[in-house]
Structure 1
């Protein structure tokens, strides 16, 4: 009774071309797997189906489909690409076509020429992954894909025998290691001349983060996102950083409310009106500035995130920056790549002291017909002693009274406040009495405006956590926050965070609200220690930050700084070209010299053949070095006759070993037999 073979035995018993095809299909699947999230669904399903079909054909030994089938599939792929993207050009359509052409080409993998086309398309598909993501994880995955393609390529150039994949992989890794210094030199020194250098930014892709408008519940959704928004390195003495209650990273400022959405004033009043509003910013600072460096993740918006308040422009390489009248720092173009900049901020500051009532009127506007109970509450508060509009200090007293109401009125800081209608302030103050930061800040600002106190919404990030591995402060999307600013006579615009009155731990001890873990996450917490999880996350984020700093953020200015450290007084991009050319020339010469030395001195098979040629020369038969072993055997038999029979047979076995699947196994035996050959008989002949 015959036993069924295991899958591994079946794989080992397959012909070499089938085994090599299956390995190549696995590599191709690995190359295109990271793009499943960005490719159209039908492309991912079609590519997976075609690769699976090709694998079944290789496993079962069935014939490949005919040319008409492939032609129809090609036309259908092009038509599908056109219908999906509306074009056959551009990034998305081009990547779709590359993936489809790659998997279709595997269905006509008959000759070596077809394999070469598959390899080159595979390398193009590998590079296309970086059009969508340049993260450390993507780079690591593509490094494995590169080694896989190199292994398949080396394997295709070893047509004789059945070399094990482990041996071929060692050769591919060696090739990659030899090329790594050249790749590093090209990366370090190839001139980054805009706009030729760099990958295009994806301005249309949706990314989580702050927006240029705010609806109730919008920031609440960000608490689900633990991705990094920015990293901060403080340069203060002894690593001193401000308390977390002062870590307010300023983002968009909203002064117009239409009843459902907060928006910037610029969108409604235009540049000229906005220039008049807040025209007297007059930022005044006190104390010693905080010096820090920010690594900002791409967010597709033209603004920077800085601590309140920065008097001087941040140092950003190759980009113009300017400050708006509401203290927000913006850039000349959207941030589409990782950006690093240095800044100085003052935690003690004042601005807007000289603003006049006419300019501040827009910050007391309310949507008509909404929130009647909030308006009634404002009238009631104004009617109290020392809170009338003509009483000095009434604005500060009203702010204090409102914060006291939030602290003692049973209000709750929560991620699930329930739906809010058009009378959102009324519902917060009198009905729900719960909300996230944007609900609390919006209700607070609307009440301030009902009290005729200029007020507006400021969004950004608040707090952060220190990474114990590299000492950087990490600010995540879940740290997104909304607070308020009110204008008070003789003080100007003053930050008021009403969320701190409801939940002091949010801005003091900095305890964020978190979504309760699911069943799987809760089970994992019972198996893996939370401390271990945090340590691994800190290690990964530190490594990812290094990748952002030294790879993604390696700009032309850093290249020129490198040349300065090498002794160039005033380096420029032509100096980079000269230095790079010299290094490439030296590498080429070193490679040629090493190749010749390796071929002539380090090939054991060639050394053994050279020893046989030398012995024949001593016996009186000098032969050219270009003759192969078979020709040497023929010349020896012609010259020496029967005494050279054993030598001829040995030379034929030496030639056969050169093309064996495992040449190293028989070389030691031939080396031992070399000394026993009848060299003395040949010398006497």
Structure 2
């Protein structure tokens, strides 16, 4: 049907389709009204084009612009910033199509579309996003090439082929720029998720305020172990340690005085180490996740890591881009003071007026367990046994808890997810005068059988407890494992909801679904490792391989500039050679010049046919040969430069063969 439409109608519908694809990729990141207005405007413009009706008056565009500005302010409370800017650029791109009348307007739409494509990288740099942008880029290039074609009705496939050729020709330049253009800090941050009831980590933990927990299947980090990975139940990746409790919220403890000894001085490790490499996704916090426990700083690029007193490793700046680092951990370790000290008092404090039933139960437990040097160990064992046999369950929908969260968990609901269980356990331990704290991080993960990487997801975020025991220091206790052993074991892991396609595929063939997912994530991991994680350090490593001893960013600029100059000169030389070798008009003129040279007339390469004709007339005089060559040269010039020439290359080749050449040069 497109073949029957006028060219203007066909070209406008194609542009609208490309813009629709660009907007469609942004739908997950836009307010609902933005997608609705953009879709409505594009459909409106398509209907006007199809029925060849006039475009709306400028008053409609002004009203729509005012509506868009007002809605943007109402949604984002600003017209500046990333989210508000993307909202405006998408709607303005759609709105610009309502004044798409002239060729100039089309060029504005093209370049506005190119700019809008860049905004997709604000939210994702995944392989799927890159593929969608490549499709949109080829579509915009096709429309741009088609707009430059002469009047007529050239097919769109011809423009698409030209656009594809241009993209292929530009690919080597893009590759050089990718390899050598100096890497800088990211120009944007990844979206900052608020506490919206999705699994993951935060700098604090509010107990009981989330009625249900939606599992987040996003990848937190990937690990490549040098050898065989530890068992599932030993995979505890340490994050923020929360010790300050106000009755509803747990936060990291702020030390009132500096620690006398660094955290590593209290850490003792034994046994063989576990060596591995982590590829950490950006999370806008300075946290590094390593297996417990890691005495030496992880090896990372362009930054330094330090250990907090809680054994957590952090960087100097928030992690805003994908980070790769190596670490060495010891599953067998001991940490903390071996004897009671004043510093442990902060880990038994509880706010007054909260959880009275738990405090009363603690007094009963104290009498049941009895006194002794191993009171802490026996109390922990009693509480863990109570969790296993007391009818407690692990659930992602416990409902909203009240003021006394521990009381509700121990005596009323007996259900919750890991934060409820860990918080209630630590509160009970502190009520028993046992120093205790909450450790957050990730537990477990899954192996990708395609590329061998171990994948840890946001749904693997976990909270467990540490209690202090005399002679042993801080000891990990995971009360969730007593309620739901499968949560920390090899089976019955938490699974996020699946989309319709994945769910249907899993119901038909679970093995095929798992293989499909592993293969896709392995491909994405390669994209992350070789493209997104190509940092300045890897650039400098490339220069070292090229012979630079101590390369820096100035060397990168020098090498890049040198390559660009060489490529430009080579391209110009190749274009000149190709034009001379493959231009049939130049080849025909060169044949005449070579023949004249044998007759004693030298001509320069840059001389046009008119100048050569004048030299022939002076050199050979007023002869039939001179007149025939002069006339042929003027016809050759007219073929090149005259808009309407009666000759063609074929007729001129035939006329060239009919020239009667003298046997020798004139005297």
How would you bin the TM-score normalised by the shorter chain?
0.7 to 0.9
Check whether the contact 2:264–2:295 (CA below 8 A) recurs between aligned residues: no
- Pairing 1:484–2:465 present: yes
Over 3 Å counting, the alpha-carbon distance change for 1:91 and 1:300 in structure 2 is same
Check whether the contact 1:280–1:352 (CA below 8 A) recurs between aligned residues: no
Describe the superposition over 1:328-378 as per-residue Cα deviations: whole angstroms up to 9, x where unpaired.
Answer: 112222222212111121111111124634322222223333333333332
State the SS of the aligned residue for 2:29: coil
Question: How many angstroms apart in 1 are the aligned matches of 2:260 and 2:396?
Answer: 38
2:584 equivalent in structure 1: 607
Question: How many angstroms apart in 2 are the aligned matches of 1:58 and 1:625?
Answer: 52
Structure 1 stretch displaced more, 148-157 or 30-39:
30-39
Q: 1:379 aligns with which of 363, 372, 377?
A: 363
Question: How many angstroms apart in 1 are the aligned matches of 2:49 and 2:93?
Answer: 17
1:539 equivalent in structure 2: 519
Q: 1:587 aligns with which of 560, 563, 567?
A: 567
State the SS of the aligned residue for 2:406: helix
Over 3 Å counting, the alpha-carbon distance change for 1:610 and 1:436 in structure 2 is same
Over 3 Å counting, the alpha-carbon distance change for 1:19 and 1:610 in structure 2 is farther
Over 3 Å counting, the alpha-carbon distance change for 1:369 and 1:81 in structure 2 is closer
CA displacement at 1:109 relative to structure 2: 2.4
Structure 1 stretch displaced more, 444-453 or 71-80:
71-80
State the SS of the aligned residue for 2:30: coil
CA displacement at 1:95 relative to structure 2: 3.1
Check whether the contact 1:18–1:59 (CA below 8 A) recurs between aligned residues: yes
Over 3 Å counting, the alpha-carbon distance change for 1:547 and 1:365 in structure 2 is same
CA displacement at 1:156 relative to structure 2: 1.1
Question: How many angstroms apart in 2 are the aligned matches of 1:260 and 1:278?
Answer: 31
State the SS of the aligned residue for 2:266: coil
Q: 1:240 aligns with which of 209, 228, 234?
A: 228
- Pairing 1:119–2:103 present: no
1:251 equivalent in structure 2: 239
Over 3 Å counting, the alpha-carbon distance change for 1:279 and 1:18 in structure 2 is closer
Question: How many angstroms apart in 2 are the aligned matches of 1:198 and 1:418?
Answer: 40
2:186 equivalent in structure 1: 198
Over 3 Å counting, the alpha-carbon distance change for 1:531 and 1:625 in structure 2 is farther
Describe the superposition over 1:588-636 as per-residue Cα deviations: whole angstroms up to 9, x where unpaired.
Answer: 122223333444444xxx53896699799999xx9x99789xxxxxxxx
Question: How many angstroms apart in 1 are the aligned matches of 2:363 and 2:532?
Answer: 56
- Pairing 1:561–2:549 present: no
Over 3 Å counting, the alpha-carbon distance change for 1:75 and 1:567 in structure 2 is same
Describe the superposition over 1:36-87 as per-residue Cα deviations: whole angstroms up to 9, x where unpaired.
Answer: 2333443332222222222122211122334454455445545555565555
Q: 1:367 aligns with which of 338, 351, 362?
A: 351
Aligned residues: 634
State the SS of the aligned residue for 2:287: coil
State the SS of the aligned residue for 1:103: helix
1:157 equivalent in structure 2: 148
CA displacement at 1:547 relative to structure 2: 2.0
- Structure 1 residue runs of 5 or longer lacking an equivalent are 1-8, 629-638, 659-669
CA displacement at 1:420 relative to structure 2: 3.3
Q: 1:62 aligns with which of 27, 42, 53?
A: 53
Check whether the contact 2:210–2:400 (CA below 8 A) recurs between aligned residues: no
Q: What is the root-mean-square deviation of aligned Cα atoms in Å? A: 3.9
Q: 2:179 aligns with which of 167, 188, 194?
A: 188
CA displacement at 1:276 relative to structure 2: 7.7
Structure 1 stretch displaced more, 57-66 or 142-151:
57-66
Question: How many angstroms apart in 2 are the aligned matches of 1:576 and 1:51?
Answer: 45
Question: How many angstroms apart in 2 are the aligned matches of 1:502 and 1:188?
Answer: 52
2:332 equivalent in structure 1: 348
State the SS of the aligned residue for 2:455: strand
CA displacement at 1:483 relative to structure 2: 0.9
- Structure 2 residue runs of 5 or longer lacking an equivalent are 597-602, 611-626, 662-667
CA displacement at 1:16 relative to structure 2: 0.9
Equivalences for residues 307-456 of structure 1 within 5 A: 307-354=291-338, 356-384=340-368, 387-389=369-371, 391-456=372-437
Question: How many angstroms apart in 2 are the aligned matches of 1:23 and 1:253?
Answer: 56
Check whether the contact 1:465–1:474 (CA below 8 A) recurs between aligned residues: yes
Over 3 Å counting, the alpha-carbon distance change for 1:91 and 1:415 in structure 2 is closer
Question: How many angstroms apart in 1 are the aligned matches of 2:161 and 2:10?
Answer: 18
Q: 1:47 aligns with which of 16, 38, 41?
A: 38
CA displacement at 1:463 relative to structure 2: 0.8
CA displacement at 1:523 relative to structure 2: 4.5
Check whether the contact 1:244–1:508 (CA below 8 A) recurs between aligned residues: yes
Question: How many angstroms apart in 1 are the aligned matches of 2:643 and 2:587?
Answer: 13
Q: 1:177 aligns with which of 168, 175, 180?
A: 168
Describe the superposition over 1:289-343 as per-residue Cα deviations: whole angstroms up to 9, x where unpaired.
Answer: 2221111112222211111111112222223322221111122222222121111
Question: How many angstroms apart in 1 are the aligned matches of 2:539 and 2:490?
Answer: 42
1:666 equivalent in structure 2: none
Describe the superposition over 1:434-483 as per-residue Cα deviations: whole angstroms up to 9, x where unpaired.
Answer: 33222222222222122211111111111111111111100011111111
State the SS of the aligned residue for 1:191: coil
Question: How many angstroms apart in 2 are the aligned matches of 1:440 and 1:86?
Answer: 39
Check whether the contact 1:249–1:306 (CA below 8 A) recurs between aligned residues: yes
Question: How many angstroms apart in 2 are the aligned matches of 1:260 and 1:277?
Answer: 32
Structure 1 stretch displaced more, 426-435 or 300-309:
426-435
Question: How many angstroms apart in 2 are the aligned matches of 1:503 and 1:71?
Answer: 60
Question: How many angstroms apart in 2 are the aligned matches of 1:308 and 1:46?
Answer: 51
Describe the superposition over 1:123-156 as per-residue Cα deviations: whole angstroms up to 9, x where unpaired.
Answer: 1111122123222221111111111111111111
Describe the superposition over 1:247-289 as per-residue Cα deviations: whole angstroms up to 9, x where unpaired.
Answer: 10011111123332322222xxxx4257489989611111232
Structure 1 stretch displaced more, 75-84 or 303-312:
75-84
1:631 equivalent in structure 2: none
Question: How many angstroms apart in 2 are the aligned matches of 1:280 and 1:379?
Answer: 36
CA displacement at 1:205 relative to structure 2: 4.7
1:262 equivalent in structure 2: 250
Equivalences for residues 50-129 of structure 1 within 5 A: 50-71=41-62, 73-74=64-65, 77-78=68-69, 81=72, 84-85=75-76, 87-129=78-120
1:137 equivalent in structure 2: 128
Check whether the contact 2:223–2:276 (CA below 8 A) recurs between aligned residues: yes
Question: How many angstroms apart in 1 are the aligned matches of 2:435 and 2:168?
Answer: 65
State the SS of the aligned residue for 2:256: helix
Question: How many angstroms apart in 2 are the aligned matches of 1:222 and 1:277?
Answer: 39
Check whether the contact 1:458–1:483 (CA below 8 A) recurs between aligned residues: yes
Check whether the contact 1:232–1:295 (CA below 8 A) recurs between aligned residues: yes
CA displacement at 1:246 relative to structure 2: 1.3
Question: How many angstroms apart in 2 are the aligned matches of 1:69 and 1:259?
Answer: 56
Question: How many angstroms apart in 2 are the aligned matches of 1:617 and 1:321?
Answer: 74
CA displacement at 1:676 relative to structure 2: 12
